[in-house]
Amino acid sequence: MSSAENSGGSQAPLSKGRGAGGEVAIVKYNAGNIQSVLFALERLNVDAKVTDDADELMNADKVIFPGVGAARSAMDSLKEKELDKVIKELKQPVLGICVGMQLLFEHSEESDTECLGIIPARVKLFSPLSALQRGVGGESIKVPQIGWNNLYNLKTNLFKDVPEQSFVYYVHSYYAEMNPYCIGTSNYGIEYCGAVQKDNFYGVQFHTEKSAKVGEQILKNFLTMPQP
C-alpha cells in the first residue's frame, strides 16, 4: 500500500480544544517533532499547549510525548528539566510517539541509554542481516527503516476503527522487542512491537502525524479516551 493510498480525505474534526473535554499538552524538550504533531492536531481542530511545566503537564487531560533523534540526548534533556520524574507520575492518558515511545522502555541499545522504565522491555538496533538469514525469507533490509509498513494484531481502543494490516509510516533504526504489553506488531526482517500500552501509557513507534487517515484515526482515538 503506497502513501497515496493512505492519504485520502482527512478525518472529521473534533470539537475545538477537546481532548476528552480538557486540555491537551505536548511535552516540550530537546527531541520533539513538535511542529508536525501540532499540525496533525490542527487538522483535527484540537488546540494543544507545548509545555515543560510540571503543573501544566500533571493537570492536562491528555499528554503527547513526541520524539525524534537519539535516545541518550533525549533522556539528557528530560533529566535536565526533571521531566523524567514528572512523566512517570502522570495518571492521565499519555501517548509516546517514535523516540517518545522508545523512552517509555527500560533500556535502549542506542548509546546504552537507561530510559524511563515504564515498560519492562528493551529497545534494540535493527540488524542489516537479510530476512532470509533470520529464517523468514526475503531480501536484505536497510537500516534505518524509512517508509510505509503494515501494522497487525491490533489491540485496545487506541485502534478503534483501524483495520488490521493498516499501513503506517516509520522512520527508525531501533525497535522495541516483542513484550506482553505490545498492542500492535510490525515486521521488518523481524517481528517487533509497533505499539505498546501499559496502564495509562501508550506508545507508537510510527509517526501518527505522517500516517494519513490511519494516523489521524489513532490520534482521534487517543484524544477521546476516557480518564483511567
**Is-contact 16 43, C-beta < 8 A?**
no
**Is-contact 217 168, C-beta < 8 A?**
no
Residues annotated as catalytic (active site), given as ranges: 98, 207, 209
Provide the residue count of the chain. Answer: 228
Query: Phi first, then psi: what are they for 4, rounded to 5°?
Result: -65, -35
The C-alpha cell at 164 is 488490521
**Is-contact 44 16, C-beta < 8 A?**
no
Q: Closest Cα to residue 45, out of 225, 226, 204, 223?
A: 223
